[in-house]
Structure formats: C-alpha cells, structure tokens
Amino acid sequence: MAARADKVSRVDHDGVTLVEGATSDVRFAFTERAGGVSEDAYSSLNLGSHVGDDPFAVQENRRRALEAMGAAECEHNLLVPNQVHGDHIVAVTSNGADDLEDVREQIAEGCDAIVCTAHNVPVLLCFADCTPILLLDPAHRAVGIAHGGWKGTIARISAKACQALCDAAGCDASDVSAYIGPHILGDEYEVSQELMDRFAAEFSCIDANTSRMLDLSAAIREALVDVGVDADNIVDTQLSTVRQNDRFYSYRNEDGTCGRHAAIGVML
C-alpha cells in the first residue's frame, strides 16, 4: 500500500503566501491572492493573463510566485495553458527549447491538464472557484495539474490526468498522491436539477434527490479512487474560495471580474 501523502502547509514568503508542499526535487503550491502588484479588482497576486489585468503586472506576479517556490531561475520555461473547460491533456517530457515551443503551441489551442516529467519546467493553471487538482508520482518523477470545473469534473479529467501521469512516469495510480486545492465547496455551489441529475448518473457519491448543492471535490475523489489512487493519498485542503475570498479569488463572489490564483508544480 502507498504511504499516506504528505500534508501541505501555509507559508509566507516575504508577502507571497503559498499553501505548499515540497520534496528534495519537486515543489508544488496553491497560491493566495496577496503579495503581488496588480490593482483594483485584480488585487494583488493575479496570475491570469486573460482577465483584463495589466500584462506586465501578471508577468511580475508570476515571477514572484516562482521566486517564492524557489524556482525563479525556471521562469523562462513556464507553461500556462489556455484553459477551455475541456479534458484535453498535454504531456511535457523534455525541457529542450524546441520541444517546449511545440508544447506552447499545443496548450495555446486549449488544454485543461498538464503532466510533466521534465526538470526545471514550471506548469501553472489558473482558478477562481473551479477545483485545482495537483498530482505527483511516488518517486516525484512527475507532476501534473488538472482544472476541475464542472465540465472537467464530470468528464473525469482528474482520472484522465492521473492515467497520463502514470503513462509518462511509468508508475501506478495506486502510488500517486493527489492534492485538491481551494475551490467553491459543496455547501456553496448550487446548480440546476438537470446538472445534479447528470452528476448523480456519473458518480455514486452525488445524490440529486436531497439538494442541488454540488460537491465537486467529492466527485473528483471518487474519480481518482476509481482509477486506482489510494484514498489515503488524496489530500483535500477544503479551502473555500467563497468563504475565504480575502485569501482567494472567487468568480461568483466577485461578479465575474477578478484575478486568478493558481496551482503550480515544478521539478528542480
């Protein structure tokens, strides 16, 4: 049986606060919204370049986030996909300049999960209520991040990303560690009855007859266990983007105009 996944800790790095974990050769974190240079609705560590913020502020914020993770020297290799609420996954197996340029072309077309076996290549996905899923292989030979909005979750993107990580790293799902980051929690996310019925048909943990409150993280945990991840190796931070809107961005709470926090992983 796989060892239980390590917990994550909230750590302040000169004003940049991360909910993070690390081993000897991998760093991974969920960012908070403080410590950046963005202003107004994007205050202050906005990492999303697609929300109307000053692009120079976003670039500086990304540099600060990587510096806080001890990965500032890798900034030139940073990969940030164009997220489209799908289930397309891109694998990164080399840090060569030409190979990374090919990957950038792929992720620009739309990608909601990345798995990476290359050193010194940070991967960053953005969030503001959707569920971040961060995956590690047992020997930390790979890191993966998936974007779990309701569309990705019902498409089991977490399980598909886990399988892609196992294929890339040559490991088994039973050894993968998964971390579920800040998101809109199950008692905060009311959806239509039709959507509840669709989720109930896909996931045994969802009961469409009791309420219309959708627990994305429960569905994600079920998908991961179904594909072979040990339940003890799934760490759910249970951090709320809605209740803790002072720490994280919330699309719902902020009427659609806000920055984006991120899940970031890098092998050093």
Q: Are the beta carbons of 113 and 103 closer than 8 angstroms?
A: no
Q: Are the beta carbons of 30 and 263 closer than 8 angstroms?
A: yes
**Confidence (pLDDT) at 138:** 65
Q: How far is CA 88 from CA 39, 151, 156, 158, 261, in A?
A: 33, 12, 11, 11, 21
> What is the spatial distance between Cα 97 and Cα 245, in angstroms, rounded to a whole number?
38
Q: Are strands 113-116 and 16-22 parallel, antiparallel or unpaired?
A: unpaired
With a CB cutoff of 8 Å and minimum separation 6, the contacts of 210 are none
Q: Are the beta carbons of 134 and 181 closer than 8 angstroms?
A: yes
147 phi/psi in degrees, rounded to 5: -105, 110
**Confidence (pLDDT) at 2:** 46
**Confidence (pLDDT) at 161:** 98
pTM over 0.95: yes
pLDDT digits (tens, 9 = 90+) for 151-192: 999 999 999 999 999 999 999 999 999 999 999 999 999 999
How would residue 93 be classed by pLDDT, with cut points 50, 70 and 90?
A: very high
Please choose, from the candidates 145, 119, 116, 160, the residue with its C-alpha nearest in 3D space to the C-alpha of residue 47: 145
Q: Is the pLDDT of residue 3 over 80?
A: no
Please choose, from the candidates 126, 144, 142, the residue with its C-alpha nearest in 3D space to the C-alpha of residue 134: 144
Q: Is the pLDDT of residue 140 over 80?
A: no
**Confidence (pLDDT) at 1:** 40
**Confidence (pLDDT) at 88:** 97
Q: Is the pLDDT of residue 130 over 90?
A: yes
How would residue 23 be classed by pLDDT, with cut points 50, 70 and 90?
A: confident
> What is the spatial distance between Cα 217 and Cα 225, in angstroms, rounded to a whole number?
12
pLDDT digits (tens, 9 = 90+) for 192-238: 999 999 999 999 999 999 999 999 999 999 999 999 999 999 999 99
Q: Are the beta carbons of 113 and 161 closer than 8 angstroms?
A: yes
